[in-house]
Structure 1
Amino acid sequence: MAHGTHAMLVGLRRGEPAPGPGTSWRTRGEWLLAAVAAAFTLAQLLLVRPGIGLGWDETVYVSQVGTQAPAAFFSAPRARGVSLLVAPVASWSTSTELLRVYLAVLSGLGLYLALRVWRALFPARVLALGGALFATLWITLFYGPQAMPNHWVAIGALVCVGCFLRARADRADRAALWGVAAGAALMAWMRPADAVWVALPLLVLVVTAPARRWRLAAALVGGLVAGAAEWVVEAYADYGGLGRRLSEASDIQGGLGWHLAVDDQLRSLVGRTLCRPCTGPMPNPAVLAWWFVLPLLAVVALVVAVRTRRTAPTLLPLACATTAAVPYLFMIGYAAPRFLQPAYALLAIPVAAALLHLVTTPAGRWRPMAAALVAIGLAGHLAVQYAVLDRTVDRTTADRRDWARTADHLHRLGVRPPCLLTGHEAIPVAYYTGCSSAATGGPNANSTRADILRTTRRMPTATLTRPGAAPPSYARDWGTHRSAVRDLHIAPTPARRDGPG
């Protein structure tokens, strides 16, 4: 009995599944992971609230398959994965609450499946803690129930890297090969460029591996190709080719190249969902602390892995997290905290292993002082995450209510579907109003002045400006209606323009 207990503790210390009779320990581990995923889903529903309206990017994705408004302009960087993900609900219902609940349940299920992939690589308690660390970030809770791609790139990254490690260790693990392909496809389906950055260390390994790894290479490359196929086909169909689409995507993002965006990411941690331009003072150090502790714990995890001669399960996710973060820290001139979600997900499991190593002895006993310090640190971390999440939810809810109020105002002024909106924040307001949107310049340019004027002859048209701002030249003789958040410039109706005869 003592020998069996010692073997179990050694296995836990080395990150291996615990041996033992039957499947009771494995069953308990499965329930532990399921509990973390269920708590994640519940936290989304309670803290983010299903009634929060759709955000700007969400209206673009949902409008492609929804019934509330015509499809918004789909710019070059975007991929269709989110639209297809929400289609089972958005294609027949305009209920934001139903869509939020659907996405919250789906994201919880996705987290459970992604953690389960790693069961052969780390003990359940490490995976549960890693899942909890990722799931309790305000960024993860806020974006889990939203129609946005980054959370799903993170889930795909966890599946792909975990299955890759399993397939390398056991060539007979066919399920792992399918998992590599599925994870890679999910990432590329959501954001093709992100998928390549995440998979870069994996691609290097399969290229330099012996020929017998061709199945693993085929699974990885095949998954990336399958997920990105629609985006590439669309590039040739609608954007003038793949090179043209990539160039246009780079221009929309301010031109990809050397940009030090680390400070931008730090400023965004206070709850700025889009930091562009990213100016102003740095947040309180309490808000930033976890961001600096994270790489230190990653180093601890790597040192522990080297000492226990189990480097691959720790080094590979750390490498993929690094490459996933590189473009958003050093190659783009603005920031959004969601951009780093795949990196946070991949860091979570090694960091959890490092924390457990710090609070337990090699024999598996608790270190009381270390455990108390870590518990206090985690409690403070959770408090900060909740505070930022609460402020972010309140602020974004208010913004989206303003869009809804503007839509009601437009309806009272006679701007009803079919209709067209242009100008400041036209895309989200058009979705709430049930209108199409158009722009003659900027990253969402899809029309011309002449096209807009022709449209005024056949449907209600309005342009939106900030309070007191001058409308574009084509709308200077339109009727102006002022509100607290924006001015509405309404084109004469077709009947008034054409006269009674």
Structure 2
Amino acid sequence: MHETRVRTTAPEPAVTAPHDRPGGPLPWLTAVGLAFLVLQLVVVVPGSGLAWDETVYVSQAGGNAPPAFFSAPRARGISYLVAPVAALTASTAVLRIYLALLSAGALVAALYVWRKVLPTPVLVCAGAFFAGLWPTLFYGSAAMPNPWCALGALAATGWVARPVRDGAAGRREAVGAGAAVAIVALMRPADGFWLALPLVLAVVVVPGRRRPGVGAALVAGLVAGCAPWTAEAYARYGGLGARLHRAGEIQGGLGWNIAVDDHLRALAGRTLCRPCDIGWESPGTALWLTVLPVLVVVGVVVARRSGRGAVVLLAALTGLSMAVPYLFLVGYAAPRFLLPAYALLSVPLAECLVHLFMRARHARRPGGVALLALVLAAHLTAQFLVVSHVVRVSRATTARFTAMAGALNRSGVKPPCVVSGADAVPIAYYAGCASRQTAGHDASTTPAALREAARHVPTAVLVAPGEAPPAWAGDRRTVPLPPGNGAASYRGYVLPVVAPDGTGQARRPR
């Protein structure tokens, strides 16, 4: 009689959810959020002013000046976000603190969504990496939509990752995913589309993982988030197609544009690289981005061995999707554009680093943790040096614009007033004036309308160094403007007040 042996295969080890452990990931994630908050409050917030784009968004809700012209590509999500503060005070410091608190809390919340599919060390490492990037630190307290797109994308992908892993989707996952996509689309409709695309495909097309309810929630969130932008397109631009066309013109035309090298150069501390015809000022600042694709691939591979391959691959593919338009379709670079991609790619990156330093076969856990901490410390040090440089440049620009605004006020250009010309948008905001342009992306008036406005309110035109004042300015009065930080002086001209008989006399200080 022969003995029959039954060969069995050990089941794949289940992924231990971090929330099943005592304490869970929340205390660790809270520590990451607090560190992010403190760095913003200590390094970025003190002495900072509103940049050009920020003055546009904040002025829609209050702040220090009438609403600036709102161009076709912009969406009003960030104006809604700052409205509770901007409607009450023009203090930039209060606004910065408000946004820093919100962004730190949102970072913790977005990471916490992943608690059922990723272990605590991966979550903490991903959060530390993303929060430590200089664009994240610099824009965390800024009135800009990009960090909110990043945090919304991280949360949306986390909500979708849960049914992808568990095979079942409850109402909570569907509502969470739809709401997060809506927030991203409200901030930047294009980002909402590139976020929803891979997530919808993951839950509708992939065999064995179809969750039509989640897919419907994602589409509904995208439509809801884009609704204000679409309604405004019909109200102001004559339709959605017309607004999309105008938005493309302002962005230099959307098409095949390889901007990878532009983004690498911009990481040296350029908040906007347009055109990005600069040299490699500091190649070392882009080193981490050049190795990021390799680390992401390794992270996906090791996550698969741990039973988390599907969710980590989802994060990687969604991050890649959100990077595609800025790397290959837009002909210029700004580090903030890639914040959503960085947030999502931090997940497979963290899987890679945690595996290499804490789970490798011959690694000792205490030594691995120390080495991982050393790698993160080196990364944070490099990012700190760049963000310190960016903050210094930002403060210098703010000081220059503030000085010019003060010179205009002292020359009689006081609220209510109108400012046009070079850098008129931020300078007008600091002066408490409306900004109106006769040409360019923000064209919203005509020379005749400006001359008419001068009959009722002080109206000034700013001219950049080396340029001549516009001929239509007439018998204008020159306003001396401070150069600021060694820069060549702008020139300001106060338009004459035209009398009914056609004679004109420039306004005098009041």
Map of 1:110 onto structure 2: 106
Deviations 1:340-383 (A, max 9, x none): 00000001121111101001236795367766665444332222
Q: Select which of 99, 102, 106 maps to 2:95.
A: 99
Map of 1:62 onto structure 2: 58
Shift of 1:319: 0.4
Q: Is contact 1:479-1:490 (8 Å) kept?
A: yes
Q: Select which of 319, 325, 330 maps to 2:317.
A: 319
Q: Return closer, same or farther for 1:31/1:308 CA change in 2, 3 Å cut-off.
A: closer
* 1:413 paired to 2:411: yes
Partners of 2:434 and 2:105 in 1: CA distance: 35
Map of 1:338 onto structure 2: 336
Shift of 1:260: 1.1
Map of 1:255 onto structure 2: 253
- Letter of the 2:212 counterpart: W
Compute the RMSD of aligned alpha carbons: 2.2
Moved more, 396-405 or 166-175: 166-175
Map of 2:290 onto structure 1: 292
Map of 2:504 onto structure 1: 497
Q: Is contact 1:261-1:333 (8 Å) kept?
A: yes
Q: Select which of 67, 76, 85 maps to 1:80.
A: 76
Map 1:214-293; keep pairs closer than 5 Å: 214-293=212-291
Map of 1:6 onto structure 2: none
Q: Is contact 1:265-1:337 (8 Å) kept?
A: yes
Count of residues in Structure 1 that have an aligned counterpart in Structure 2: 485
Map 1:22-33; keep pairs closer than 5 Å: 25-33=21-29
Deviations 1:190-248 (A, max 9, x none): 00001111221112234425797221112101111111111111110111100000010
Q: Return closer, same or farther for 1:102/1:499 CA change in 2, 3 Å cut-off.
A: closer
Map of 2:125 onto structure 1: 129
Partners of 2:295 and 2:22 in 1: CA distance: 27
Aligned to 2:211, the other structure's residue is in SS state helix
Map of 1:199 onto structure 2: 196
Deviations 1:111-131 (A, max 9, x none): 010000000010112101100
Q: Is contact 1:467-1:482 (8 Å) kept?
A: no
Partners of 1:365 and 1:213 in 2: CA distance: 39
Map of 1:4 onto structure 2: none
Map of 2:186 onto structure 1: 189
Moved more, 372-381 or 148-157: 372-381
Aligned to 1:360, the other structure's residue is in SS state helix
Aligned to 2:430, the other structure's residue is in SS state helix
- Letter of the 1:482 counterpart: P
Deviations 1:50-101 (A, max 9, x none): 4301010000000001142110000011001000000110011111111000
Shift of 1:15: 5.2
The TM-score with structure 2 as length reference comes to 0.90
Map of 2:302 onto structure 1: 304
Q: Select which of 485, 488, 492 maps to 2:492.
A: 488
* 1:119 paired to 2:100: no
Deviations 1:453-501 (A, max 9, x none): 111111111111113421122125312233323111111246883799x
* 1:160 paired to 2:164: no
Partners of 2:22 and 2:239 in 1: CA distance: 50
Partners of 2:45 and 2:312 in 1: CA distance: 35
Map 1:133-152; keep pairs closer than 5 Å: 133-152=129-148
Partners of 1:386 and 1:63 in 2: CA distance: 30
- Letter of the 1:300 counterpart: V
Moved more, 360-369 or 465-474: 360-369
Partners of 2:196 and 2:217 in 1: CA distance: 12
Q: Return closer, same or farther for 1:50/1:66 CA change in 2, 3 Å cut-off.
A: farther
Deviations 1:268-307 (A, max 9, x none): 1011111111122113232111111211110111111233
Partners of 2:80 and 2:446 in 1: CA distance: 30
Q: Return closer, same or farther for 1:26/1:446 CA change in 2, 3 Å cut-off.
A: farther
Partners of 1:342 and 1:134 in 2: CA distance: 10
Aligned to 1:27, the other structure's residue is in SS state coil
For structure 1, the 5+ residue unaligned runs are 1-9
Partners of 1:228 and 1:498 in 2: CA distance: 48
Q: Is contact 1:50-1:96 (8 Å) kept?
A: no
Q: Return closer, same or farther for 1:376/1:98 CA change in 2, 3 Å cut-off.
A: same
Partners of 1:478 and 1:204 in 2: CA distance: 61
Partners of 2:419 and 2:453 in 1: CA distance: 10
- Letter of the 1:161 counterpart: T
Map of 1:389 onto structure 2: 387
Moved more, 216-225 or 461-470: 461-470
Partners of 2:129 and 2:210 in 1: CA distance: 37
Map of 1:213 onto structure 2: 211
Partners of 2:222 and 2:71 in 1: CA distance: 21
Partners of 1:466 and 1:172 in 2: CA distance: 58
Q: Is contact 1:266-1:283 (8 Å) kept?
A: no
Partners of 2:269 and 2:315 in 1: CA distance: 26
- Letter of the 2:178 counterpart: A
Deviations 1:413-469 (A, max 9, x none): 000111111100001111111111111111111111211111111111111111342
Q: Is contact 2:18-2:120 (8 Å) kept?
A: no
Q: Is contact 2:113-2:159 (8 Å) kept?
A: yes
Map of 2:17 onto structure 1: 17
The TM-score with structure 1 as length reference comes to 0.92
Shift of 1:179: 0.8
Aligned to 2:443, the other structure's residue is in SS state coil
Shift of 1:156: 0.6
* 1:474 paired to 2:472: yes
Deviations 1:313-360 (A, max 9, x none): 111110011110111111111110000000000011211111010012
Aligned to 1:129, the other structure's residue is in SS state helix
Q: Is contact 1:45-1:104 (8 Å) kept?
A: yes
Map of 2:6 onto structure 1: none
Partners of 1:299 and 1:172 in 2: CA distance: 27
Q: Is contact 1:259-1:331 (8 Å) kept?
A: yes
Partners of 1:455 and 1:446 in 2: CA distance: 13
Partners of 1:360 and 1:459 in 2: CA distance: 67
Q: Return closer, same or farther for 1:353/1:15 CA change in 2, 3 Å cut-off.
A: farther
Moved more, 490-499 or 222-231: 490-499
